[in-house]
Every structure is written in structure tokens, then in C-alpha cells.
Amino acid sequence: MAQANKAENEQVSTSEIFDGERILDDASLSQLDSEKFSRYAMIGDALRAKSDNAITIDITASVAAALADEPCHNVKGIEEVAHQPAQSNVVSISSWKKPFSQIAIAASVALVAVLGVNTMQQTPVVGDDLPVLQSIPVAGGVAPVSFSSEGSALQSAQQGVRELQQQRIGALVLEHQRQSRMAHALHQAKTEKVEENKESN
């Protein structure tokens, strides 16, 4: 009860100070709620359409408060982010991913696929059928692997392999594209040869 009274009292005095109805001294200052004061000032400015300075609404405090209440999903992952400055793109991606890893139940192949997309899009040597590789349900019995918990060493090793595999897939697609440019000429040469053989026989 006493607290409510005090708050109400402060509000009244803040308003009085703002309106200049109360002399500014130590006694009144102790009752001033500076937050409210600035809000009053802002309201006043807005009403008077003093838009020289864009209205700045400080939401940092409330965001911080909301974040404090938010449950932490994977503290370990977050710590790792803090401790390891991103050395390369890949590392940063993987650390970024870790907080989500408990939620993400991804088949390892699907992940390769998704990451594969990135590599291929980044590769500037993109030709006509070297495009966005899109993940599809794997044809064939591949056990889904969850990247949830243990073994970050294992994970980083896997990351290395994955990176190699992406590189390889990119190389294979490009090579197929280049080689198949010769296919038609080869096919023609071959059918001609077969026909020649037939004729000579």
C-alpha cells in the first residue's frame, strides 16, 4: 500500500515538475521519475510537432527484459559462439547453427544438400545446370542423423567432411556439364562409325 502511494506521489510530482508547477530542488528531484519525465517531454514534443529530432523510442530495456525471461536453448553452443571468433565462413555457420541443433532433427544428407546449395550458389562458375541444388527426400534407406548433443569434436570432423563433400559435388556437377558438351559430337561419331562398320561388313 505504501509503495503504491509512493508511486502515485512520484507520478504527481514528476508531472508537476514538468509543468513547472513545482520548484526544482533536492526534495522535488528525489521524487522525480526521470523515465516518466522524458516520456512527458517526448509527448509534448510530439504534440507540438517538433519533429526536428526523430522520435526515439527506447525499447532496449524492454527487449533486454524479455530476453532475460527467454529460456536458453543451448548454453554450450552460445558459449562457443562467444569464445570462437568466426575464423572462416564455415565455422561461423556451424556455430550459428548449434543453438538450433537440438531442435533441428536433420538427416545428415539433407544437411549436406542444404549446405550444398550455398556452395553452389557461391561458385561463380555456374552454368546452366549448375544451379540451386535442392534437397529431396533421399532415395534409399539412409538413417536420419540428429545433430543434437555430444561430441563437438566429432561434429567438427563431420563438418570438414561435409565441406569436402560439397566441394566434390560442385566439382562433379561442373565436370558433368562440361563433359556432356562433347557428348553429342561423340554420339554422332559413334553412330557413324557403327554404320560404317555395317556397310563394310
Partner 1 sequence: MKPFIFLISLCFSIVVQASELLSAKQLLQNMATAVHQRNFDASFVVMKEKGMEPYRWLHAQHQNQELELLSLLNGAGLEIVRVDDKVTYFEPQSTPYSIKTDTIAGPIPEVLFKDIAVLEQDYDFVLGGKGRIAGRPAQLVRLESKDSGKYNYWLWIDTESSLLLKAAYVNQVGELLEQLQLTHISVTPEPAQQLVELLNREFPEPTLVSENVISPQSQSNWQIDWLPQGFTLLKADRHKLDLNNELADYYLFSDGLVEFSVFVQRPLAGKRPSGALSSGATTVYVHNSGAFDVSVVGKIPPQTAKSIAESVKRAL
Q: How many residues bind partner 1 (CB under 8 A)?
A: 55
Distance of alpha carbon 200 from the chain centroid:
67
Q: Which candidate, 49, 50, 17, places its Cα nearest to that of 34?
A: 17
Give the number of other CB atoms < 10 A from CB of residue 163: 16
Whole-angstrom CA distances from 121 to 96, 97, 132, 164, 166 are: 20, 20, 6, 16, 12
For residue 65, the one-letter residue type is A
Query: Stretches 34-42, 61-69, 73-81, 187-195: which one binds partner 1 (CB under 8 A)?
Result: 187-195
Query: Stretches 46-54, 60-68, 91-99, 129-137: which one binds partner 1 (CB under 8 A)?
Result: 129-137
Question: With binding defined as CB under 8 A, does residue 153 bind partner 1?
Answer: no
Contact 156, 87 (CB under 8 A): no
Options 30, 153, 185, 201; binder of partner 1; rule CB under 8 A: 185
Coil/strand/helix, residue 145: coil
Residues 58-117 close enough to bind partner 1 by CB under 8 A: 108-109, 112-113, 116
Joined grid coordinates for residue 39: 516520456
> In angstroms, rounded to a whole number, what is the distance separating the alpha carbons of residues 52 and 132?
48
Per-residue contact flags (x/-) with partner 1 for residues 162 to 181, judged by CB under 8 A: --xx-xxxxxxxxxx-xxxx
Residue 15 CB, shortest distance to partner 1, in Å, is 59
> In angstroms, rounded to a whole number, what is the distance separating the alpha carbons of residues 194 and 150?
60
Q: Which is nearer to partner 1, 5 or 134 (CB)?
A: 134
Question: With binding defined as CB under 8 A, does residue 146 bind partner 1?
Answer: no
Options 21, 52, 128, 150; binder of partner 1; rule CB under 8 A: 128
Question: With binding defined as CB under 8 A, does residue 132 bind partner 1?
Answer: yes
Joined grid coordinates for residue 72: 536458453
Query: Stretches 34-42, 69-77, 84-92, 123-131: which one binds partner 1 (CB under 8 A)?
Result: 123-131
- The residues of the shown chain that bind partner 1, judged by CB under 8 A, are 108-109, 112-113, 116, 123-129, 131-136, 138-140, 142-143, 145, 157-158, 160-161, 164-165, 167-176, 178-191, 193
